[in-house]
Chain A
Amino acid sequence: MSRDLDIKVHHLTRVEGHGNIVVNMKDGVLEKAHLSIVEPPRFFEAMMKGRSFHEAAIITSRICGICSLGHQLTSLVATEDALGLEISEQTVLLRKLLIHGATLQSNILHAYFLAAPDFLNVGSVFPLIATHKDVVLRALRMKRLANDIGDIVSGRAVHPITPVPGGFSRIPEKAELLEIKRRLLEEALPDGLETIETMKALAGAIPQFERETEYISLKHPDEYALYEGDIFSSDTGALSVHNYLDVTNEFIVNHSTSKHAKYNRSSYFVGALARWNNNHAQLGEEAHAAAEAMGLKPNCFNPYMNTIAQVVEAVHCILDSVRIIDRLMEMGLKNEKPNQTPTRYGRGIGSNEVPRGILFHDYTYDNKGNIIKANCIIPTGQNLANIDDDMMKLVPEIINKTKEEITLNLEMLVRAYDPCISCSVHMLEVDFIE
Chain B
Amino acid sequence: MTSLDAETVWYLPKKELVNLIESGTFSNKAKQIQFYAPSFVHYKNKYFRSSHNSFPSISITGSSCALKCKHCNGKVLDTMVSASTSAALFGLCEKLKSDGAVGCLISGGCLPDGSVPLDIFIDAIAKVKRELGLTVIVHTGVIDVSSAKQLKAAGVDAALIDIIGSNETIREVYNLDVSVADYEQSLKAFHETKIPFVPHVLAGLHYGELKGELEALKMMAKYSPSAVITIAFMPIRGTPMEKVTPPEPEDIARVLVAAKLLMPKTPIVLGCMRPKGEHRKKTDMLAVKAGVDAIAFPVEDAIQLAESLNLEIYFSPLCCSQIFETINL
- Whether A and B are associated in the same complex: the answer reads no
Residues of B within 8 A of A (CB): none
